[in-house]
Amino acid sequence: MSLNPEMQHVVQRLLGRCMLRIQQYESLLKVMLAHHELAGPVDTLEVQRSERLGKLADKSLGTLVKSLFESYLVPDGFEKDLLPDGKTSADRISLAIAFRVSMEQRRWEETKKAIEDLVALRNDLVHHLIERFDVWTEEGCATAIAHLEASYQRIDLHYCELVEWAKSMDSAREDMVALSQTAVFHDLLVNGIAPDGSFEWSTTGIVRVLREAASRFQVEGWTSLDRARSWMSEAYPDQTPQKYRCRTWPQVLSESRQFLLEYRFGNDGAKQAWYRTVS
């Protein structure tokens, strides 16, 4: 059957529509993967986000989908330690953020297979369309048109699904932003004090600033507590022993077990406290 040029134009238009939708899918997926998981010192998170976007920029759809199922779409029970012990600095505030969609194992496997099929469909459209359909004949164009229309429906279904996941992540991010503006969150992040008032000394704000003072003012490994207190009262006035159920700074040094404390006599004969961090 001879070719109707208009039918070939329809094939071209429908193929373009499919590819544009796939590119929208890829673009949204890159944004989600760049934002869904961040961990480390707070002042590095924005840089991490930008760097991750750059690294994902040239990744193929197949690579993106592999990452999607490694850390965002996960089976029930999935766990990942974003801030493992020994990988964070005790002198800087660190934060781990993770947004995930958790699924029952069977549903996760079905979803994974469906999206892997989407990758295969994309590759087939890009590399094999004219091998499968003779678009130089009317019959071939008609078959290609039917295939492209069905393909678009599949692609669009996946894109709409991804949009819903992105909306859920945005909603969770908004909730997190609202939480981050509360005093409870500030106490947890900056001071290491949980909502129930409990804390681990090694992650408290007061230990962090004592370490910072020690690094600034140490003399042969030891730091004058009076010198440290003078600096901390200006740089971190909110960090006080009372916040951590202590009456004095020496009590903080002793109870935290993060420092060594000793007393020396000054030139005026008065006893002075000196401390150093525990190695």
- Residue 217: per-residue pLDDT: 94
CA distance linking residue 32 with residue 168, whole number of Å: 11
pLDDT of residue 30: 92
The pLDDT, as a whole number, for residue 86 is 55
Q: How far apart are CA 61 and CA 149, in angstroms?
A: 21
* Phi, psi torsion values for 86, nearest 5 degrees: 85, -5
pLDDT of residue 53: 82
Helix (H, G, I), strand (E, B) or coil at 12: helix
Per-residue pLDDT at 148: 96
- C-alpha 32: how far from chain center: 10
Per-residue model confidence (pLDDT) at position 82: 63
For 191-277, CATH gives 3.30.420.610
pLDDT of residue 126: 92
First to last CA, the chain: 85
Taking only the tens place, the pLDDT of each residue in 243-272 is: 999 999 999 999 999 999 999 987 777 889
pLDDT value at residue 78: 81
Domain segments of the chain: what residues?
5-181, 191-277
In the predicted model, residues of the chain with pLDDT beneath 50 are none
Let me know: does 2 contact 137? Beta carbons within 8 Å.
yes
Left, alpha or beta for 186 (phi > 0: left; psi -120 to 50: alpha)? alpha
- 163, 28 contact by CB (below 8 A): yes
pTM above threshold 0.85: no
